[in-house]
Amino acid sequence: MKLAGSMCALVTPFRNGVVDAAALEQLIEFQIENGTTGLIPCGTTGESATLSHEEHHHVVDLTVKFARKRAPVIAGTGSNSTSEAISLTQAARNSGADAALLITPYYIKPTQDGLFAHHMKIADAVDIPQVLYNVPSRTGISISPETVARLATHPNIVAIKEASGSIDYVSQLRNMSEITILSGNDNLTLPLMSLGAKGVISVLANVAPRLNAGMIAAVERNDWETARQIHCRTFPLVEALFCETNPIPVKAALALMGKISGEIRLPMTPMSQKNLPRIERELAILGIISR
């Protein structure tokens, strides 16, 4: 399995308070038809923190079913509880997921030794490729490049989704380890690929999968000018998609596109009327919706 290219951090569509399986199937078809190379259910963008365990398993099951092996499924299975993360990761493996995405334990703020022990225990317990996920703005703690390099010696720990927003972090990590680096921030995908990142786990791909895949394909054929043009063209939409807490804006965008109901779970609230026209304008500029 190759972890590279434009991979989509899928939203979880809801309708009347429950997972909307029909909408999820359509979203997955939209992704695969437009060049997405990996599907990530139950991540931050998928509102994993508000899903029950039953719903979490259901969304992973559905994603595996709808993907039909046309793109790898990298299931979000992280938790601030090591035992819970093991349970979610084992369930994802049993569902047929191709890999697991494991967020750095949030709120607890463990030491680097604690982070190392947490990820090693999961990697020892579940024989599935595992992607570390460093996003200190969400978790309150960053996994250091040195700790990542130590973890990368485990055969099940194969990549990191890097969302610290630091170019220095990626430069340091690249000097320490050959682990596969995936951008976790759409605004930094192109810069990180210049440092050797292999792709992105993307929010933007939910609404502009073909453009996102096209940028990465341009890098892969060493056409940096085309990649830069696509980056600059999509950058205002990327900014708009993070003008409120993710996934509020991307769900609003998908609703404007007619792909989901736009329903979001508390404590998330719907997109503010102040910012909604901004999303609509940027989608229209790119031709994703009609004006």
199-218: pLDDT as tens digits = 999 999 999 999 999 999 99
- What's the whole-number mean pLDDT along residues 213-224? 98
Q: Does 240 map to a domain?
A: no
Q: What is the pLDDT of residue 1?
A: 81
- What's the whole-number mean pLDDT along residues 177-182? 98
DSSP 58-125: HHHHHHHHHHTTSS-BEEE---SSHHHHHHHHHHHHHHT-SEEEEEPPPSS---HHHHHHHHHHHHHH
Positions annotated as catalytic residues are 133, 161
Domain that holds residue 25: 5-221
**pLDDT score of 291 more than 80:** no
Q: Does 194 map to a domain?
A: yes
> What's the structural domain count of the chain?
1
Q: Does 70 map to a domain?
A: yes
Q: Does 250 map to a domain?
A: no
Q: Does 188 map to a domain?
A: yes
Q: Does 243 map to a domain?
A: no
121-170: pLDDT as tens digits = 999 999 999 999 999 999 999 999 999 999 999 999 999 999 999 999 99
Q: What is the pLDDT of residue 2?
A: 86
**pLDDT score of 288 more than 80:** yes
59-113: pLDDT as tens digits = 999 999 999 999 999 999 999 999 999 999 999 999 999 999 999 999 999 999 9
Q: Does 257 map to a domain?
A: no
Q: Does 234 map to a domain?
A: no
- The CATH number covering residue 172 comes to 3.20.20.70
